Structure 1
Amino acid sequence: MLVYHLYANNSIVSYSRALFLCEQEMEFQQMLLRVQESLTGDEVQDMVFLCSDLLSPKDLSTVTLGRELFSLLENRNLLSPEDPFLLLELLRIMKRNSLLRNLPFDAFTQASGMLYAQRISPYRQLLYELSESICDQDLKNIKFLLIKTLPRKKLEKDMTLLQLFWEMEKEDLLGEDNLDVLKDIIASIHPGLEKRIIQYKTENFNTVEDQVDRLSLAEGAAGISGDHSQHLEFNPVFEEGSTNLPVTEIPEIQHYKMKGDRRGVCLIINNYDFRACGLKNREGTDFDKKRLKGVFQWLGFEVVAEQDCDRMRMLQVLRDLAARDHTLADCVVCCVLSHGREDGIVGVDGNTVTFKELIETLSPRWCSSLYQKPKLFFIQACRGGKEQSAAFSQTFSEDEDMPVSDAAVPRDSIPEAADYLLAMSTVPSYVSYREKDKGTWFIQSLCHNLQLLVPRGIDLLSILTQVNSDVSKKTDKSGKKKQMPQPEFTLTKRVVFPAPKTPPPLP
């Protein structure tokens, strides 16, 4: 009898599981149909070009509709309800942000639990980006320059620039590591786009001599017991003749340009309500949000605030930020106020976004208009459960007058790319504190020192050093709870915000 019941129960579970998968598959196919109905014929061909490294030319040659492409991708296990990320990536590259927002991607991405992986090569993205910037007259000029290189019959066809790129690839005139012909043509037609090709080559094929100084910010490796230190590896690069400088001569450190039409966007992600996942609400976080908003508006930023984001929403707002055109901006700022765990920032659904995921979203690979511009992250979250003590470790009961922690530490390092700042509220493995009626020690000190020191022309790293000093001196009423913030950076120049002409906002 017991065997019968077990068999029956297993059958019910299997049936329910099959029913769920069937419903999910149907919902996914309906979503694909909505995408197809929203795409123009040219956009379908754009997708075909972007997927040309994933599917055979023979298969792609017959594709005219979105559903035909989606079927090919599904047959190659490149697209499914459990793995919808390729479609997300294609729509993001094509800047179909309104379509992304109106589709129920969260239902599939949350269920899959998979990381968002890049499948479209940077090379394909570069060619697509160039095609979006070339007008019809430019295309005619490009064809004219290729008239002695490609068959005239093909050039006389009414082809798009992406189709022309395909023909160049067939003739071995263009490739992932073969961009010289294209660069020379673009330079004579559209000099501004030549810089984008040079940028791509620098990012993807730079030699050791071409690399900028970088800091390896990998935190204590799991394989080294108890090692939570920061390892700094310097690869100094000297210009020709620089070794002849006198020992006493100190070269001036350059500043990032801060003279654009606008300073940039400041994104604030403020997570307060964690009831859905069983964590405590972050009382006092709205004080931080209000203070950050006032200070960064004062500094000339366009402030965008997002409240109570789960994992997928955090990633999506960052992708939306990356999809913006930052050409006229000087930099970008992202402030995240949330609970933290060892593997990253906690969303209100209890799921985490790793620090690597958080930062890589704004890399030049995804947002070319932020190339060589500072990307500044200010993270208020715990990095572990340990408490720093002035004298001895002790656990306190939560009291209205006692600061509380945001513990829920990253072992992910930030990407090895230049122009990043990751200002963390605490060192690895330890909590950071938040007062329910004032906000967090770190954010309140950061805002205070920005208001105090920016008008004096002090650079951002020096300001953060003062924040370190101020927070390290703070403690609770018992004198036993301590906190030590920690900036990590790959900045290659000094960040100096222009002094605002208006008085700073009141605390």
Structure 2
Amino acid sequence: MEMEFQQVLLRVQESLSGDEVQDMVFLCSDLLSSKDLSTVTSGRQLFHLLEKRDLLSSEDSSLLLELLRIMKRNNLIRNLHFDAFTQTNDTATPRISSYRQLLYEVSESICDQDLKNIKFLLIKTLPRRKLEKDMTLLQLFLEMEKEDLLAEDNLDALQKMIASIHPGLEKRIVQYKTECFGGMVIAQESHSSASSTPDLLSLPTSVSSVGTMEDQVDRLSLTEGVSEISEDQSHNLDSSSNLPLAENPEIQQYEMKGDRRGVCVIINNYDFTAGGMPKREGTDIDKESLEAVFQWLGFEVLSEQNCDSVRMLQVLRDLAARDHRLADCVVCCVLSHGCVDGVFGVDGKTVTFRELLKTLSPLQCSSLYSKPKLFFIQACRGTNNQRAVFRQTFPGDEDTLVSDAAVPRDSIPEAADYLLAMSTVPHYVSYREKDKGTWFMQSLCDNLQLLVPRGIDLLSILTQVNADVSKKTDRSGLRKQMPQPEFTLTKRVVFPPPKTRPPLQ
């Protein structure tokens, strides 16, 4: 057993970059002395120190698992099969403080230019030699701690500094202070192992405007398994709503006059038993709603259940092999768990967003040239759902809200006429109620029914979906969600009003 565990540690070390080793050193700075950590340059040295302090062993590898999850190296955890060394993991006390995680997540959200600006702000506070060019933000944090400028209960200097560099990120710090010192500490749950610290996620750093960024920060997504959802009042649209006009002479519309609207494929992944992940309770509600709405819109709807990674791509290749010359557009809805690169098949293997979209490129399907290819993805874009923590719920609220943890690092292809409507912004989870379906897909279906008959274009409808989902919350008022469409559409997508009544009320 000991030999096998040492082999696992060796493989972890070989998989870590130098920066990742230093990230681990920072996260462990409350567990080991600064003198010991100052000499660490490799994973092997760090693991040896942790073993000497009885913080890591073949009987309990929970600390290493905790570190890897914080650093979002879940693929490494899956590949190395830690199960044999985690007998005590389900009851293990988390060792990395929420404060240390906050600083790490802040550093992950800061770009190189932000780091230069932070160093400039500190030039009269820290010695110039401490601000040398290659010093990372985490190293700066350690120096600030030495100078008593930063501590778990002293974040004012950091907050003031971040506010001038990254105003949206300041709200992260405010939220942390509220949670940890305002009498409310948020916990989370995943399907793997346990930990009780809050998951303070990294912030999206590439959004269209500061205003949008601050809105997204307000709409935090922490994780699943919390409280019941408050009454949603977002669908009370009246005639005075400032909805976009259907006619806009400056922007052309895609033609929607074909003999048939097109094909809508729905990939509905529910049972992830083979992939070692929880079943997606409530996803069939989304599937049924999507089927009804897109049939109402005139689409031929094809549903595929529980697709592994190979089958998911094959479904789209089969779609690309069809003759779409008489169709106006094509739609693909994917309901699944997600990961850092894309979405999971039920076998636990990843299909990247780029792979999904490329299957319908004009090179693969010439009959879709210049026609809109619309993708609606229900999956998280962050991995915090996979972090192991103890669960905290409100009385009577168990098992009502869950999430589908993912982040597409690769954007949509450069080819024109694509829409990728994601259920959440990068680095955040999205929510699914077991008895009602997901916030995003249910709002999408509701707004398609409400606004298509009024002649509203699809991007404006998705804007209303953003507004509706952003108003949803759990009873604590802290768990929020913000969808995000990405597109290379060259015209407006306006579906002809169906002649039949809406399928859902």
Q: Which residue of 1 aligns with 2:469?
A: 471
1:306 has 2:282 as partner: no
| CA 1:334–1:223: 2 relative to 1, 3 Å | farther
1:367-393 deviation digits (Å, cap 9, x = unpaired):
000000000000000010348xxxxx9
Q: TM-score, normalised by structure 1?
A: 0.50
The secondary structure found in structure 2 opposite 1:453 is: helix
1:270-325 deviation digits (Å, cap 9, x = unpaired):
00000111100000000000000000000000000000000000000000000000
Distance 2:208 2:463 in 1: 18
Distance 1:277 1:221 in 2: 34
1:341 has 2:339 as partner: yes
Letter in 2 for 1:305: S
| CA 1:423–1:396: 2 relative to 1, 3 Å | farther
Letter in 2 for 1:436: K
Distance 2:346 2:358 in 1: 21
Distance 2:490 2:406 in 1: 34
Does structure 2 retain, via aligned residues, the 8 Å contact 1:279–1:408?
no
1:329 has 2:327 as partner: yes
RMSD: 2.6
Q: Which residue of 1 aligns with 2:259?
A: 261
Q: Which residue of 2 aligns with 1:429?
A: 427
Distance 1:408 1:301 in 2: 28
Letter in 2 for 1:369: S
Q: Which residue of 2 aligns with 1:282?
A: 280
| CA 1:419–1:349: 2 relative to 1, 3 Å | same
- RCO higher in structure (CA 8 A, sep ≥6): 2
The secondary structure found in structure 2 opposite 1:451 is: helix
1:419 has 2:412 as partner: no
- Quote the sequence identity (%): 75
Q: Which residue of 2 aligns with 1:491?
A: 489
Letter in 2 for 1:333: V
Q: Which residue of 2 aligns with 1:252?
A: 250
Letter in 1 for 2:414: E
1:405-449 deviation digits (Å, cap 9, x = unpaired):
111701011100110000000000100000000000000000000
Letter in 2 for 1:406: D
The secondary structure found in structure 2 opposite 1:493 is: coil
Letter in 2 for 1:340: G
Q: Which residue of 2 aligns with 1:229?
A: 205
- Residue 222 of structure 1 and its aligned partner are, at CA, apart by 9.7
Does structure 2 retain, via aligned residues, the 8 Å contact 1:339–1:408?
yes
Distance 2:371 2:284 in 1: 29
Q: Which residue of 2 aligns with 1:319?
A: 317
The secondary structure found in structure 2 opposite 1:481 is: coil
Q: Which residue of 1 aligns with 2:242?
A: none
The secondary structure found in structure 2 opposite 1:341 is: coil
Q: Which residue of 2 aligns with 1:36?
A: none
Letter in 2 for 1:495: V
Q: Which residue of 2 aligns with 1:506?
A: 504
Does structure 2 retain, via aligned residues, the 8 Å contact 1:355–1:414?
yes
The secondary structure found in structure 2 opposite 1:295 is: helix
Paired residues for 1:114-193 under 5 Å: none
How many correspondences in the alignment?
A: 268
The secondary structure found in structure 1 opposite 2:301 is: strand
Does structure 2 retain, via aligned residues, the 8 Å contact 1:336–1:380?
yes
| CA 1:386–1:482: 2 relative to 1, 3 Å | farther
- Residue 452 of structure 1 and its aligned partner are, at CA, apart by 0.1
- Residue 230 of structure 1 and its aligned partner are, at CA, apart by 3.3
Distance 2:503 2:421 in 1: 22
Q: TM-score, normalised by structure 2?
A: 0.50
Q: Which residue of 2 aligns with 1:460?
A: 458
Distance 2:344 2:280 in 1: 12
1:435-475 deviation digits (Å, cap 9, x = unpaired):
00000000000000000000000000000000000000001
| CA 1:458–1:310: 2 relative to 1, 3 Å | same
Distance 1:223 1:342 in 2: 22
| CA 1:394–1:475: 2 relative to 1, 3 Å | farther
Q: Which residue of 2 aligns with 1:376?
A: 374
- Residue 354 of structure 1 and its aligned partner are, at CA, apart by 0.3
Does structure 1 retain, via aligned residues, the 8 Å contact 2:333–2:377?
yes
Distance 1:480 1:395 in 2: 15
| CA 1:261–1:348: 2 relative to 1, 3 Å | same
1:163-205 deviation digits (Å, cap 9, x = unpaired):
xxxxxxxxxxxxxxxxxxxxxxxxxxxxxxxxxxxxxxxxxxx
Q: 345, 348, 356: which one pairs with 1:350?
A: 348
Does structure 2 retain, via aligned residues, the 8 Å contact 1:221–1:411?
no
| CA 1:223–1:299: 2 relative to 1, 3 Å | farther
The secondary structure found in structure 2 opposite 1:482 is: coil
Distance 1:357 1:302 in 2: 23
Distance 1:330 1:363 in 2: 15
Distance 2:208 2:318 in 1: 32
1:313-351 deviation digits (Å, cap 9, x = unpaired):
000000000000000000000000000001110110000
Letter in 1 for 2:442: Q
Q: 387, 392, 406: which one pairs with 2:404?
A: 406
- Residue 402 of structure 1 and its aligned partner are, at CA, apart by 3.3
Distance 2:356 2:272 in 1: 20
| CA 1:258–1:221: 2 relative to 1, 3 Å | farther
Structure 1: unaligned runs, 5 residues or longer: 1-112, 114-219, 234-249, 388-392
Distance 1:397 1:338 in 2: 24
- Residue 365 of structure 1 and its aligned partner are, at CA, apart by 0.4
Distance 1:310 1:333 in 2: 20
1:366 has 2:342 as partner: no
Does structure 2 retain, via aligned residues, the 8 Å contact 1:402–1:477?
no
Letter in 2 for 1:458: I
The secondary structure found in structure 2 opposite 1:340 is: coil
Structure 2: unaligned runs, 5 residues or longer: 1-78, 80-108, 116-201, 210-247
Distance 1:445 1:383 in 2: 19
Distance 1:287 1:402 in 2: 14
Q: Which residue of 2 aligns with 1:270?
A: 268
Does structure 1 retain, via aligned residues, the 8 Å contact 2:203–2:427?
no
Q: Which has the larger Rg?
A: 1
| CA 1:223–1:325: 2 relative to 1, 3 Å | farther
Letter in 1 for 2:205: S
The secondary structure found in structure 1 opposite 2:474 is: coil
- Residue 223 of structure 1 and its aligned partner are, at CA, apart by 8.6
Does structure 2 retain, via aligned residues, the 8 Å contact 1:335–1:377?
yes
